[in-house]
Amino acid sequence: MSIASQRTRIIILYNTMTAFKALGLDEQLLQAITDMGFETPSEVQEQAIPILLEKDTDLVALAQTGTGKTAAFGFPMLQKINIESRTTQGLILSPTRELCLQITNEMINYGKHKKGLNVVAIYGGASIQDQARNIKKGAQVIVATPGRMKDMISRRMIDISKIEYCVLDEADEMLNMGFYEDITEILSYSPDEKSTWLFSATMPREVSSIAKKFMHDPKEITVGSKNVGSSNVSHEYYLVNTRDRYQALKRLADANPEIFSVIFCRTKRDTQKVAEQLIADGYNAGAIHGDLSQNQRDIVMKQFRNRQIQMLVATDVAARGIDVDNITHVINYQLPDEIETYTHRSGRTGRAGNLGISIVIVTKSEVRKIKSIEKKIQKTFEKKDIPSGMAICEKQLMHLANNIKDTEINHDIDTYLPQINESLEGFSKEELIKKFFSVEFTRFYNYYNKAKDINATAGVQREYSDDTGSVRYFLNIGNKDDFDWMSLKDFLKDILGLGQDDVYKVDVKDSFSFFNTDELHKDLVLKAFEDYKLDGRNVNVEVSENSGGGGGGRSRGKRSFGGGDRSRGRSGGGDRSGGRSSGGGDRERSGGRSSGGFRSSGSGGGGYKGKRRDDSSGGYGDRSKRRDDSAGDSGASRSRSSDGDSRSSRGRSSEGTSDFADAGNKSKFSGKRRGKSKPDTGGTGGRRRRRD
Q: Give per-residue pLDDT as tens, 13-45.
A: 555 567 888 899 999 999 999 888 887 888 899
Q: Where are the alpha helices (DSSP H) in 514-585?
A: 522-528
Q: Where are the alpha helices (DSSP H) in 320-471?
A: 339-346, 367-377, 389-406, 417-423, 429-448
Confidence of residue 474 (pLDDT cuts 50, 70, 90): very high
CATH number of the domain where residue 506 is located: 3.30.70.330
Give yes or no: residues 435 and 333 share one domain.
no
pLDDT at 460 over 70: no
What proportion of the chain, given as a percentage, has pLDDT over 90? Answer: 39
pLDDT of residue 5: 55
Q: Which of 246-250, 257-261, 316-320, 674-678 is predicted with the least confidence, judged by mean pLDDT?
A: 674-678
Q: Where are the alpha helices (DSSP H) in 255-366?
A: 268-280, 294-305, 339-346
pLDDT at 344 over 70: yes
What are the tens digits of pLDDT across the range 205-234? Answer: 777 777 888 888 889 898 865 555 577 899
What is the spatial distance between Cα 392 and Cα 396, in angstroms, rounded to a whole number?
6
What is the spatial distance between Cα 238 and Cα 527, in angstroms, rounded to a whole number?
39
Give yes or no: residues 76 and 165 share one domain.
yes
Q: Is 553 contained in some domain? A: yes
Q: Which of 12-26, 314-328, 427-441 is predicted with the least confidence, judged by mean pLDDT?
A: 12-26
Domain enclosing residue 248, as ranges:
233-386
pLDDT at 678 over 50: no
- Top-confidence range, 166-170, 373-377, 492-496, 627-631: 166-170
pLDDT at 659 over 60: no
Looking at per-residue confidence, does 175 or 617 come out higher?
175
Confidence of residue 591 (pLDDT cuts 50, 70, 90): very low
Give yes or no: residues 245 and 207 share one domain.
no
pLDDT of residue 444: 83
Burial class for 633, CB neighbours closer than 10 Å (0-12, 13-18, 19+): middle
Give yes or no: residues 187 and 311 share one domain.
no
Dihedral (CA of 68, 96, 131, 612) sign: negative
* Final residue before a domain boundary, out of 386, 414, 438: 386
pLDDT at 589 over 50: no
pLDDT at 599 over 70: no
Bridge partners (DSSP) of residue 359 are 236, 331
Bridge partners (DSSP) of residue 415 are none
What is the spatial distance between Cα 373 and Cα 343, in angstroms, rounded to a whole number?
9
Give yes or no: residues 141 and 23 share one domain.
yes
DSSP 370: H
pLDDT at 575 over 50: no
Give yes or no: residues 208 and 126 share one domain.
yes
pLDDT of residue 4: 54
What is the spatial distance between Cα 575 and Cα 675, in angstroms, rounded to a whole number?
33
C-alpha Rg value of the chain to the nearest Å: 28
pLDDT of residue 497: 84
Q: Is 211 contained in some domain? A: yes
Q: Is 366 helix (H, G, I), strand (E, B) or coil?
A: helix
How many domains, the chain?
4
What are the distances in angstroms from CA 644 to CA 180, 289, 295, 458, 631? 12, 10, 17, 35, 11
Q: Is 516 contained in some domain? A: yes
Give yes or no: residues 217 and 351 share one domain.
no
H or E segment and range at residue 205: helix 205-214
Q: Is 224 helix (H, G, I), strand (E, B) or coil?
A: coil
- Residues 100-122: b if buried by 16+ CB within 10 A, e if exposed: bbbbbebbbebbeebeebbbbbb
Q: Is 375 contained in some domain? A: yes
Give yes or no: residues 377 and 254 share one domain.
yes
pLDDT at 278 over 70: yes
pLDDT at 96 over 80: yes
Give yes or no: residues 325 and 423 share one domain.
no
Looking at per-residue confidence, does 597 or 547 come out higher?
547
Bridge partners (DSSP) of residue 508 are 513
Confidence of residue 642 (pLDDT cuts 50, 70, 90): very low
Give yes or no: residues 39 and 143 share one domain.
yes
- Top-confidence range, 9-13, 557-561, 591-595, 649-653: 9-13
Q: Is 594 contained in some domain? A: no
pLDDT of residue 554: 36
* Final residue before a domain boundary, out of 200, 222, 244: 222
Q: Is 601 contained in some domain? A: no
The residue-averaged pLDDT of 272-289 equals: 94
Backbone angles phi, psi at 513, to 5 degrees: -150, 170
Q: Which of 281-285, 319-323, 352-356, 524-528 is predicted with the least confidence, judged by mean pLDDT?
A: 319-323
Looking at per-residue confidence, does 501 or 134 come out higher?
134
Other beta carbons within 10 Å of 35: 12
Q: Is 656 contained in some domain? A: no
Q: Is 644 contained in some domain? A: no
pLDDT at 112 over 50: yes
Looking at per-residue confidence, does 358 or 451 come out higher?
358
Give yes or no: residues 397 and 378 share one domain.
no
Question: How is the beta sheet containing 165-168 ordered, strand by strand?
Answer: 119-122, 141-144, 90-93, 165-168, 195-200, 59-62, 219-222
CATH number of the domain where residue 113 is located: 3.40.50.300
pLDDT of residue 657: 38
Give yes or no: residues 439 and 546 share one domain.
no
pLDDT of residue 197: 95
The residue-averaged pLDDT of 93-112 equals: 92
pLDDT of residue 626: 36
pLDDT of residue 682: 40
Nearest to 657 by CA among 480, 509, 490: 490
What proportion of the chain, given as a percentage, has pLDDT over 70? Answer: 73
**Averaged confidence pLDDT in the chain:** 77
